[in-house]
């Protein structure tokens, strides 16, 4: 009974949340022009102009005459204009009188990189190194066998042998150790294991085995640790277009990357929804803190669930609707999804009004 009551309240909250207007609303002190600076992020710029930065796609007017029109670079001049009575942000057009002479030249500096959507330094480890693996994936991965000197733990600059590796010489591997089990807080389904990076090694073929040279270690490598090829730096995505999910979604924060009880802006969290719920990189989700459950039977004073006596807690547990009251969920911030697995996703908290914690709800903004 209690489960039905709480599910009904959560469902109504989702409907109400989804019904909020999604028309863009400009900040009262927005600039009419802005020169993009090195170190800016798309979220920063969107926040200058919009009260709801995740509605960036409704503000941005891409110019098809500009190469890669969705990318913004340091030095670009952005202007706010009105098209069909709607505000649009555009890049200033390059001067039509500019003459470019083609010919041999020496590159004196690296080409400018587009600004990222969010601070990449906060999420880079989760894009390149950190993993979420299923039991089946863990069982199928190649693994560390050991060393010829009989040690069970290794570190830089030792070498070891691995089994199941098929890779060219010089291939970099992340050496992982399955860590915390990620569980669904309501169904108790195992969603995957967080695999923690313990070292990086370089492969060197050696007959029927593969020899690994540890080139960097965070922790000691143990026999049986798993091997996953390291992604190249060039594939690190920098652009996630902030946007809302196109259907109702609801999940929970199930893990904080820094293992703290409370987290805040620019902290990374894991959520109980992934590709199986049509979550994708770039989705912006609201963070909601569940309303308190109370026991309320006049003329007695209302009691919070944690303060209720044994009899009151029994009524709460069995869902006595006549005496149970759940206060409304409260919105405390937003996050942007940047990495999606089948049943789990990771997001970066972009704004908070109060500390965020495990079991907080994530849903449509």
Question: Percent of the chain scored above 70 by pLDDT?
Answer: 81
Query: 224 versus 301: which is more confidently predicted?
Result: 224
* Mean per-residue pLDDT, 59-74: 67
- Which DSSP category does 116 fall into? P
Please tell me the predicted confidence (pLDDT) of residue 241: 82
For the ranges 11-15, 130-134, 193-197, 198-202, which has the lowest average pLDDT?
Answer: 11-15
Mean pLDDT value across residues 17-22: 45
Residue-level pLDDT at 34: 92
Q: Let me know if 59 is exposed, middle or buried by CB neighbors in 10 A (0-12, 13-18, 19+).
A: buried
Torsion of CA 172, 118, 108, 232, to 10 degrees: 10
* Residue 183 clears pLDDT 90, i.e. is over it: yes
Mean per-residue pLDDT, 292-319? 73
pLDDT digits (tens, 9 = 90+) for 266-285: 999 999 999 999 999 999 99
| CA-CA-CA-CA dihedral for 272, 277, 283, 289, to nearest 10 | -40
Condensed to tens digits (0 to 9), the pLDDT of residues 241-266 reads: 888 999 999 999 999 988 899 999 99
Tell me the pLDDT tens digit for each residue of 286-296.
999 999 888 78
- The answer for residues whose C-beta is within 8 angstroms of residue 311's C-beta and 6 or more apart is none
Interval 115-146: pLDDT, tens? 888 888 888 888 777 889 999 999 999 999 98
pLDDT of residue 63: 54
pLDDT for 238 beyond 80: no
Q: CA 321, CA 11: separation in Å to the nearest integer?
A: 17
* Model confidence at 98: pLDDT above 50: no
> pLDDT at residue 361 above 90?
yes
Helices (H), 101-153: 120-128, 135-140
Chain centroid, CA 114 distance in Å? 20
Mean pLDDT of 20-28: 73
Q: Which of 218, 276, 281, 225 is nearest to 251 (CA)?
A: 276
Q: Whole-number mean pLDDT of the chain? A: 81
Tell me the pLDDT band of 114, cut-offs 50, 70 and 90: confident
- Average pLDDT of span 202-216: 85
Annotate 97-113 with b (16+ C-beta within 10 A) or e (fewer). Answer: eeeeeeeeeeeeeeeee
pTM, to two decimals? 0.77
């Amino acid at each position: 009974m209690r489960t039905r009551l709480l599910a009904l309240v959560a469902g109504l909250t989702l409907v109400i949340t989804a019904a909020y207007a999604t028309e863009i609303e400009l900040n009262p002190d927005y600039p009419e022009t802005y020169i993009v600076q090195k170190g800016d992020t798309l979220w920063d710029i969107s926040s200058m102009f919009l009260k709801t930065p995740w509605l960036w796609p409704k503000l941005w007017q891409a110019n098809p005459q500009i190469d890669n029109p969705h990318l913004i670079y340091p030095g670009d001049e952005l202007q706010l204009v009105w098209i069909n009575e709607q505000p649009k942000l555009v890049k200033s057009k390059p001067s039509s009188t500019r003459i470019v002479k083609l010919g041999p030249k020496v590159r004196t500096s690296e080409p400018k990189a587009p600004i990222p959507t969010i601070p990449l330094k906060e999420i880079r480890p989760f894009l390149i190194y950190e993993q979420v693996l299923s039991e089946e994936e863990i069982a199928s991965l190649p693994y560390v066998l050991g060393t010829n000197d009989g040690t069970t733990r290794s570190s830089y600059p030792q070498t070891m042998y691995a089994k199941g590796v098929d890779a060219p010489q010089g291939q970099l591997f992340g050496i992982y150790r399955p860590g915390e089990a990620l569980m669904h807080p309501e169904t108790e389904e195992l969603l995957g294991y967080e695999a923690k990076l313990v070292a990086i090694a370089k492969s060197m073929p050696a007959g029927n085995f593969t020899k690994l040279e540890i080139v960097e270690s965070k922790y000691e490598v143990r026999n049986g640790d798993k091997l996953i090829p390291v992604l190249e730096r060039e594939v690190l995505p920098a652009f996630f277009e902030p946007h809302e999910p196109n259907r109702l979604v609801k999940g929970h924060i199930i893990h904080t990357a820094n293992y703290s009880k409370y987290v805040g802006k620019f902290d990374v969290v894991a959520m109980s929804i992934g590709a199986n719920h049509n979550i994708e990189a770039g989705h912006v989700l609201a963070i909601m803190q569940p309303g308190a459950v109370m026991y309320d039977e006049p003329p007695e004073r209302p009691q919070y669930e944690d303060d209720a006596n044994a009899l009151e807690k029994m009524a709460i547990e069995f869902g006595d609707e006549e005496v149970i009251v759940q206060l409304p969920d409260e919105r405390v911030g937003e996050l942007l999804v940047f990495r999606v697995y089948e049943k789990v996703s990771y997001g970066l908290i972009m704004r908070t009004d109060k500390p965020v914690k495990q079991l907080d709800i994530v849903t449509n903004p």
